[in-house]
C-alpha cells in the first residue's frame, strides 16, 4: 500500500510492507517498535483532522490498547467510522472509548454473542490477587499467560506490586518504554530472565507469553501455579482447551474487546444507519441488529 | 450457596487430587452443617432428577434476557452446554425481566415461606445451599408450569453467574463433579480427625441431607455401625502376561483366579455386611448370600470374589467376542441366578486381625471355619424346606403353595439342599508330577480366568515383594503346564 491507516499496532491490524503509515499519536512509538525502525510512520493527535484527496480523516480513542483508534472518514458529508478493536471498560493504560456519530459504523464482533458479559475488572483483579497470595502460601511461583502487547501492560497497571515481585515476558518488557514515554504510569518490573525467575521463585508473579512453555519454568522455580487471562476464559469449553483443570490452574476473565453489552451500546451510540460487522461472531450480531431495526451486514474479514 | 459454587469452580480447576481435597476440607470446615449435609449429598453423587424440561428453561431464559431463541441456540452451539449458556446469557441481576405469571398472593411457591424470593433483587444472593434446595428446588415438583416459571425466574434474578450455573444443573438433574467418595472422606477426616475409612463407611450407610445427620456423620463417637467397617483390599495386580512359563515354586499356594467383584463378608456384633469394591455395601442386594453369611461366627471377615453361579447347570460366561445380544441374554440369565461368594482369604477370626499371619495359617483357619459353616447351612436349609412343605399343606390353594410347588418341580431332589452360596476357593495342586500331568484347560472351571499364585508366607495387604499376588492368565498357565510336560 502507498498509505496505510492503522487503528492499532496488533499484528492482525498492522502489517509491514506499506510505504507510509498513519496512526494515532500515542500509538506511534509502539507501531514503530512492532514494524521495525525503517517504517515511515506519522502519528496525529486524537481528534485532529487531516485531508487526503478530498477525504477528511481523523483518529478517535477506541479504548482497546495504548494508541488504539477508531478512524473517522468523511467524504462529501458521508461519515464512516472504522472502529478497529475496541472496548468500553475502563483501562488505565489507554484513553477511554469515545462514541462518534456516523452514517456507517464498522464494528468488530470478537465477542458478538450474548454469552459474553464481562465481570467487573475490580472483581477479577481481586480474584487474581487472592490466587497469587494463596500460591505464595503454598510456596509456588505464580505464572500468568497473557498477550505481550496490551493485556500484559493492563495487568501491570492493575496489579498490587506490594504483594510480591513481578516479572514480565521479555517481548512485553521491551514495550514498557513506549508506554512510559506515552505517560502511562507502570510499576517498575524486571524482565523474566532465567536468573530473575530463580530469584523470585515461590513468591513472585511472572507474566508470560501465551505461547511460552510452562515446563521450562519447572526447572527454574519448581512446579508453578499457572493461569490464563482472556475473555475466552468465560467459557468452560475454552478453559478446557487451554488446559484449565489439567496443567493450567485458573482462567481469569479479562478482555480488551467489548462484550455483548459493549458492542450493542457502542453501535447504538454511533447512530449509524448501516453497521458492518466483521471478525468474530459477525453473522449473529448483524442478524440481531437487523431484527432490532438497525440495518447491518457482514463485512468479510480480509486476511492477507 | 456462594461458597459451594466457588468450591465447585475450584475443584474443577484444580488438577491434583490433594488440591481438591484441600478445597473440600476448607469448605466443610466453614459451612453450616445444614449446607454441608446438602453439599455432601450432591458431591456424593446423589443425583437430583430433572425437575424442569431444558426446553422450557430455554424459553424462560429467552424471555428473561429479551433474546431471540435463535440467538440462544447460536450461543449454545459455541458454549456447548445448555446450563452454562443460560447462566451466561442472563444479564446481571438488575436487567432481568422477571414479571410473574402467577398474580402475587395467589400461589406461594414456598408453603413454609421462610425465604420469599426477592423480585428483581439486590446484587448478590444471600441464599444458602440448603435454602436453594429445600425452598426453591424441591418445591418445584409440586408446582404447575406457571408457578415453576415464576420460581425459576425469581431465583435466577437473585444469583450470580456461577450460582446460576449450579442452579441450572440442579434444575435439569445434570449436576456432576469428579470427586470420589474416598476424596470426600479424606477431606472430612482433616476436619474431624476420624479415620477416612470410617467416614467412607458412614457415608455409604443410610443418612439424609440434614444437619443432624451430618453432625452424626462427622461425630468422633464410634458407634455400632463403625464396627462393620471393612479392611482395605489387597492390591490386585494386573494379569501377568509375561509370567515365566515355569511350574510354580513349591512355596506358593495356587488357586483359580476368578472373574468377578471383590467382596468382603463381615460378621461382627451380630451384623452381616457385604462390602465390595468399588460398589460399597451390597448386603441388601444379595439377600441369599447375606443369609448364608449370617451363619459365620461373630468377629469374622472373609475376602473373596462374587461370581455368577457356574457349573451345576449354571450358565457359562460367554466369551468377550460373543455378540452383544448373546452377552445381554447371558447377563439376564445370571441376574436371575444367585451369585456365589468364593472365599479365598480370612482377614479376621474371633475378633482378631489375622492379616499379618502367614497365608498357610489363614488358609487353615478359613478351612476350619468353612467346615462348620457349610454344615450349619445344610441344617438350616433342610429345616426351612421342611417348614415350607408344612406350610404348603396348610395353605393348599394359596399362592405360597403354588410357588413352592413350582420350586419343587425345578429341583430334581427336594431333600438335597441347594449348594451353599459361600464357597471355599479350591486349591490347584502344585507338586511337580501333578502339575505336569494336569490339563489345566480341561479342569479349569467356567468363570475362572487363570491362576492366582500367592506365597505361603505372604501377609494380606503387605507391600513386600513376597506379598504380591501373581495372576497368570489361562492361556499362559496352560502353556506353562505344557512346557512342564
A240 touches chain B (CB under 8 A): no
Residue B327 confidence (pLDDT): 63
- Counting beta carbons within 10 angstroms of the beta carbon of residue B60, is it exposed (0 to 12), middle (13 to 18) or buried (19 or more)? buried
Q: Answer whether residue A54 shows pLDDT above 50.
A: yes
Its ipTM equals 0.92
- Return phi, psi of residue B124, to 5°: -130, 145
Between CA B163 and CA B361 the distance in angstroms is 58
Between CA A147 and CA A129 the distance in angstroms is 19
**Model confidence over B126-145: pLDDT tens digits?**
889 999 999 999 999 889 99
Task: Tell which of A120, A139, A226, A235 to mutate to test the B interface (max B CBs under 10 Å).
Answer: A235
**Model confidence over A243-290: pLDDT tens digits?**
777 766 788 999 999 999 999 999 999 999 999 999 999 999 999 999
Position B312 confidence tier, pLDDT thresholds 50, 70, 90 = very low
The better pLDDT of the pair B422, A303 is held by B422
At A248, is the secondary structure helix, strand, or coil? Answer: strand
Put simply, the answer to whether A291 touches B68 (Cβ < 8 Å) is: yes
B236 touches chain A (CB under 8 A): no
**Model confidence over B76-113: pLDDT tens digits?**
999 999 999 999 998 776 455 656 665 444 444 443 43
Q: Are B171 and B13 in contact (CB under 8 A)?
A: no
Domain map (residue ranges) of chain B: 230-485
A245 touches chain B (CB under 8 A): yes
Q: How many Cβ atoms sit within 10 Å of the Cβ of residue B260?
A: 19
Q: Residues B230-485: name the CATH superfamily.
A: DNA ligase/mRNA capping enzyme (3.30.470.30)
Residue A87 confidence (pLDDT): 96
Sign, CA dihedral A215-A216-A218-A223, equals negative
**CA angle at residue A126 from A194 to B29, to 5 degrees?**
100
Put simply, the answer to whether A236 touches B81 (Cβ < 8 Å) is: yes
Q: Which of A155-164, B247-256, B351-360, B367-376 has the highest mean pLDDT?
A: A155-164
What are the structural domains of chain A?
4-115+257-298 (3.60.15.10), 121-252 (3.40.50.10710)
Residue B99 confidence (pLDDT): 60
Between CA B255 and CA B452 the distance in angstroms is 5
Position B442 confidence tier, pLDDT thresholds 50, 70, 90 = low
Q: Which of B60-74, B120-134, B267-281 has the highest mean pLDDT?
A: B60-74
- Chain A, residues 278-297, CB within 8 A of chain B, namely 281, 284, 287-288, 291
Q: CA A276 → CA A289, A297, B253, B423, distances in Å?
A: 10, 5, 81, 79
Closest-CA distance, A115 to chain B, in angstroms, reads 5
Q: Are B469 and B454 in contact (CB under 8 A)?
A: yes
Three cell numbers written together for B154: 425469581
Residue B84 confidence (pLDDT): 94
Q: Answer whether residue B118 shows pLDDT above 50.
A: no
Q: How many Cβ atoms sit within 10 Å of the Cβ of residue A274?
A: 15
Residues of B in contact with A251 (CB under 8 A): 13
Residues of B in contact with A234 (CB under 8 A): 88
Q: Answer whether residue B476 shows pLDDT above 80.
A: no
A116 touches chain B (CB under 8 A): yes
Put simply, the answer to whether B13 touches A244 (Cβ < 8 Å) is: yes
Closest-CA distance, A105 to chain B, in angstroms, reads 22
The mean per-residue pLDDT over the stretch A20-33 comes to 92
Between CA B169 and CA B175 the distance in angstroms is 5
Q: How long is chain A?
A: 304
Residue A260: closest C-alpha in chain B: B89
Between CA B485 and CA B480 the distance in angstroms is 9
Residue B85: closest C-alpha in chain A: A115
Residues of B in contact with A244 (CB under 8 A): 13
**CA angle at residue A29 from A26 to A31, to 5 degrees?**
100
Q: Are A120 and A143 in contact (CB under 8 A)?
A: no
B177 touches chain A (CB under 8 A): no
Residues of A in contact with B74 (CB under 8 A): 113, 281, 284
Among A235, A245, A261, whose Cβ lies nearest the Cβ of B12?
A245
**What value does the mean pLDDT of chain B take?**
78
Residues of B in contact with A250 (CB under 8 A): 13
Q: Are B37 and B218 in contact (CB under 8 A)?
A: no
Position B397 confidence tier, pLDDT thresholds 50, 70, 90 = very low
pTM of the predicted model, to two decimals? 0.69
Position B376 confidence tier, pLDDT thresholds 50, 70, 90 = confident
Position B391 confidence tier, pLDDT thresholds 50, 70, 90 = very low
3-state secondary structure B289-343: HHHHHCCCCCCEEEEEEEEECCCCCCCCCCCCCCCHHHHHHHHHHHHHCCEEEEE
Between CA B429 and CA A212 the distance in angstroms is 62
A137 touches chain B (CB under 8 A): no
Residue B62: closest C-alpha in chain A: A114
Residue B353 confidence (pLDDT): 86
Amino acid at each position: 500500500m502507498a498509505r496505510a491507516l492503522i487503528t492499532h499496532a496488533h499484528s492482525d491490524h498492522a502489517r509491514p510492507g506499506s510505504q507510509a503509515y498513519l496512526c494515532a499519536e500515542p500509538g506511534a512509538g509502539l507501531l514503530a517498535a512492532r514494524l521495525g525502525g525503517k517504517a515511515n510512520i506519522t502519528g496525529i493527535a486524537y481528534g485532529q483532522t487531516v485531508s487526503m484527496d478530498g477525504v477528511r480523516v481523523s483518529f478517535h480513542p477506541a479504548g482497546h490498547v495504548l494508541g488504539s483508534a477508531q478512524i473517522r472518514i468523511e467524504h462529501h458529508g458521508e461519515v464512516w467510522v472504522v472502529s478497529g478493536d475496541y472496548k468500553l471498560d475502563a483501562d488505565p493504560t489507554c484513553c477511554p472509548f469515545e462514541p462518534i456519530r456516523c452514517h456507517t459504523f464498522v464494528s468488530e464482533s470478537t465477542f458478538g454473542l450474548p454469552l459474553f458479559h464481562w465481570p467487573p475488572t475490580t472483581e477479577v483483579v481481586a480474584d487474581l490477587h487472592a490466587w497469587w497470595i494463596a500460591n505464595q502460601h503454598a510456596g509456588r511461583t505464580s505464572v500468568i499467560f497473557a498477550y505481550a502487547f496490551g493485556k500484559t501492560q493492563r495487568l501491570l497497571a492493575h496489579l498490587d506490586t506490594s504483594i510480591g515481585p513481578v516479572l514480565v515476558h521479555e517481548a512485553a518488557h521491551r514495550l514498557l518504554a513506549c508506554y512510559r514515554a506515552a505517560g502511562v504510569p507502570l510499576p517498575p518490573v524486571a524482565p523474566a530472565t532465567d536468573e530473575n525467575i530463580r530469584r523470585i521463585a515461590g513468591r513472585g508473579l511472572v507474566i508470560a507469553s501465551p505461547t511460552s512453555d510452562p515446563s521450562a519454568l519447572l526447572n527454574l522455580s519448581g512446579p508453578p501455579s499457572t493461569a490464563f487471562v482472556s475473555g475466552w476464559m468465560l467459557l468452560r469449553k475454552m478453559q478446557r482447551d487451554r488446559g484449565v483443570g489439567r496443567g493450567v490452574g485458573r482462567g481469569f476473565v479479562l478482555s480488551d474487546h467489548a462484550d455483548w453489552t459493549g458492542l450493542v451500546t457502542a453501535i447504538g451510540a454511533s447512530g449509524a444507519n448501516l453497521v458492518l460487522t466483521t471478525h468474530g461472531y459477525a453473522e449473529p450480531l448483524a442478524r440481531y441488529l437487523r431484527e432490532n431495526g438497525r440495518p447491518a451486514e457482514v463485512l468479510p474479514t480480509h486476511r492477507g | 450457596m456462594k461458597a459451594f459454587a466457588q468450591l465447585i469452580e475450584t475443584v474443577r480447576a484444580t488438577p491434583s487430587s490433594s488440591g481438591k481435597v484441600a478445597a473440600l476440607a476448607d469448605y466443610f470446615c466453614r459451612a453450616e452443617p445444614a449446607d454441608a449435609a446438602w453439599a455432601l449429598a450432591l458431591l456424593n453423587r446423589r443425583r437430583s432428577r430433572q425437575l424442569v424440561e431444558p426446553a422450557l428453561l430455554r424459553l424462560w431464559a429467552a424471555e428473561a434476557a429479551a433474546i431471540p431463541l435463535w440467538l440462544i441456540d447460536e450461543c449454545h452451539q459455541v458454549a456447548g452446554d445448555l446450563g452454562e449458556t443460560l447462566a451466561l446469557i442472563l444479564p446481571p441481576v438488575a436487567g432481568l425481566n422477571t414479571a410473574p405469571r402467577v398474580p402475587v398472593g395467589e400461589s406461594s411457591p414456598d408453603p413454609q415461606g421462610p425465604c420469599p424470593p426477592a423480585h428483581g433483587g439486590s446484587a448478590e444472593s444471600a441464599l444458602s445451599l440448603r435454602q436453594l434446595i429445600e425452598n426453591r428446588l424441591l418445591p418445584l415438583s409440586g408446582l404447575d408450569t406457571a408457578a415453576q416459571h415464576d420460581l425459576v425466574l425469581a431465583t435466577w434474578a437473585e444469583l450470580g453467574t456461577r450460582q446460576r450455573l449450579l442452579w441450572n444443573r440442579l434444575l435439569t438433574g445434570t449436576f456432576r463433579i469428579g470427586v470420589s467418595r474416598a476424596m470426600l472422606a479424606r477431606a472430612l477426616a482433616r476436619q474431624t480427625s476420624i479415620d477416612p475409612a470410617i467416614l467412607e463407611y458412614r457415608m455409604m450407610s443410610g443418612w439424609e441431607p440434614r444437619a443432624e445427620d451430618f453432625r452424626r456423620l462427622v461425630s468422633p463417637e464410634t458407634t455400632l455401625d463403625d464396627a462393620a467397617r471393612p479392611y482395605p483390599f489387597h492390591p490386585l495386580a494386573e494379569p501377568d502376561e509375561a509370567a515365566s512359563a515355569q511350574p510354580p515354586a513349591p512355596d506358593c499356594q495356587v488357586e483359580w483366579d476368578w472373574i468377578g467383584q471383590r467382596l468382603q463378608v463381615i460378621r461382627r456384633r451380630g451384623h452381616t455386611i457385604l462390602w465390595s469394591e468399588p460398589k460399597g455395601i451390597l448386603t441388601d442386594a444379595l439377600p441369599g448370600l447375606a443369609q448364608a453369611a449370617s451363619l459365620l461366627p461373630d468377629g469374622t471377615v472373609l475376602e473373596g470374589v462374587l461370581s455368577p453361579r457356574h457349573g451345576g447347570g449354571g450358565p457359562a460366561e460367554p466369551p468377550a467376542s460373543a455378540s452383544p445380544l448373546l452377552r445381554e441374554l447371558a447377563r439376564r440369565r445370571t441376574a436371575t441366578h444367585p451369585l456365589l461368594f468364593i472365599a479365598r482369604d480370612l482377614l479376621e477370626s474371633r475378633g482378631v486381625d489375622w492379616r499379618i499371619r502367614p497365608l498357610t495359617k489363614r488358609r487353615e483357619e478359613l478351612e476350619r471355619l468353612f467346615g462348620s459353616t457349610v454344615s450349619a447351612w445344610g441344617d438350616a436349609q433342610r429345616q426351612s424346606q421342611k417348614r415350607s412343605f408344612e406350610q404348603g399343606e396348610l395353605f393348599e390353594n394359596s399362592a405360597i403353595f403354588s410357588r413352592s410347588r413350582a420350586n419343587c418341580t425345578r429341583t430334581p431332589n427336594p431333600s438335597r439342599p441347594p449348594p451353599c452360596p459361600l464357597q471355599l476357593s479350591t486349591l490347584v495342586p502344585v507338586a511337580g508330577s501333578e502339575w505336569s500331568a494336569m490339563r489345566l484347560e480341561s479342569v479349569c472351571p467356567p468363570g475362572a480366568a487363570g491362576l492366582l499364585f500367592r506365597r505361603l508366607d505372604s501377609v494380606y495387604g503387605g507391600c513386600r515383594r513376597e506379598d504380591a499376588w501373581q495372576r497368570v492368565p489361562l492361556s499362559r498357565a496352560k502353556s506353562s503346564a505344557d512346557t512342564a510336560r
